[in-house]
Amino acid sequence: MAEDEAPKPEAPAPAGTLRARPGTVRPPMPAGPVRPDAPPPTRPRRPRLERGEGAPAPEPLHRTTAVGGGSSRLSPALTVVVAAVRKAGKALLKDFGEVENLQVSMKGPGDFVSQADLKAEKTLRAELARARPNFGFLMEESGLSGNEDWEYRWVVDPLDGTTNFLHGIPHWAISVAVEKRGNDRTPDEVVAGVIYNPAADELFWAEKGGGAFLNDRRLRVSGRRQMIDALFATGIPFASVPRKAEFSSILARLMPQVSGVRRFGAAALDLAWVAAGRYDGFWELGLNKWDIGAGLLMVKEAGGFVSDPEGGDAWTDGHVVAGNPILQPQLRAVVSEGIAAVAAARGRTGA
């Protein structure tokens, strides 16, 4: 071709052939003539495996499964507790649906124990003892039992909110805490706990250093900072329960400062709801260890503060003030002031 002669355009490729992009190497074509109606060559695909024929399941975003199926976050001890409370909760739900047929007796004026309490406690004790035979027990209905030289023990309320239960109010719970025995240098402490409301199928659980959860959702206490915006919970002394004057004194001082005060009748759930941010704080005096064991840990693991009215250990004396880090000190000051006012009045009257 002469130097000034323009290059001839490339002839169009026959139908059914592949043109290589500039700068690429064309793959070898099959030998022999290519029929015009032949389909273009295609890249071989891997065989597709259907689920159940060897195909791996998609990788989950989080390796944690539902608590009901055994969350990977749960320690072996908590896994045992979850299974036990769900079994007891199933029976309690059945009794709740037939509450008018339950046999009921009185522990004291205004304080009931039902056949459902006793059956639930029996179920919990059997399940927990089978899994951890060396643990001790502190249970609401049967008291102390099990290994007297325990390093760990179960602290169990089989039915917190019995009065609600017997009146058909679906606000009651099973509470189980794991208490570790202290020594000369460290006090006894709760290291794990579960609070289960079968009527709502809400399972609250916590482990020391591992956070607090509602089912598989991480819990945090509320972020409210002003008392006037706060909603608090408490327990009202009934019948022969003491400290009615203290309660009235505290409530009279608190009500003008806050958005509201609730009394739902189940201390374990009150504390769980503080951990969940539903309540901004909670106070009650004279509670038992089975009422508060799991709940105190839950509030702490959700970022809250827990103490008695003077800033001491609520686990030791059963006087509880719990809340978020901003409002708990303010609530504690009001509770302490109300108690002190009653003590001063008694001192003046000699009562």
CA 85 to chain centroid = 13
User: What is the torsional sign of CA 247, 248, 252, 258?
Assistant: positive
Burial class (CB in 10 A: 0-12, 13-18, 19+), 2: exposed
Cα 207 to Cα 205: distance, rounded to the nearest angstrom: 7
Contact present, 234 and 283 (Cβ < 8 Å)? yes
Alpha carbons 297 and 177: distance in angstroms, whole number: 9
pLDDT, residue 62, reads: 30
Return the pLDDT at 115: 85
Higher-pLDDT residue of 166, 238: 166
Q: How far apart are CA 348 and CA 351, in angstroms?
A: 8
Ranking 15-19, 107-111, 160-164, 324-328 by mean pLDDT, the lowest is 15-19
Looking at domain 227-349, which of 3.40.50.2000, 3.10.580.10, 3.40.190.80, 1.10.1840.10 is its CATH number?
3.40.190.80
State which amino acid sits at residue 326. I
CB 139 within 8 Å of CB 116: no
Looking at the chain, which residues constitute the CATH 3.30.540.10 domain(s)?
72-218
117-132 residue pLDDT tens:
899 999 999 999 999 9
Quote the pLDDT of residue 46.
45
Strand partners, 137: 145, 154
Q: What is the pLDDT of residue 60?
A: 31
pLDDT at residue 146 in the model: 84
Binding-site residues from annotation for Mg(2+): 140, 157, 159-160, 291
Whole-number Å distance between alpha carbons of 178 and 78? 9
- The per-residue pLDDT for 11 is 54
7-16, 60-69, 91-100, 130-139: range with highest mean pLDDT: 130-139
DSSP states of 109-164: TTEEEEHHHHHHHHHHHHHHHHH-TT-EEEETTTEEEE-TT-SEEEEEEEEETHHH
For the chain, give every residue range classified as CATH 3.40.190.80: 227-349
User: Hey, which CATH number is domain 72-218, 3.30.540.10, 3.30.2130.10, 1.10.150.110, 3.30.479.30?
Assistant: 3.30.540.10
**pLDDT reading at 93 higher than 50:** yes
Helix (H, G, I), strand (E, B) or coil at 78: helix
Annotation: binding site = 140, 157, 159-160, 291
pLDDT at 271: 98
pLDDT at 229: 98
Give per-residue pLDDT as tens, 20-42.
455 555 555 555 555 555 555 55
Q: How far apart are CA 269 and CA 280, in angstroms?
A: 13
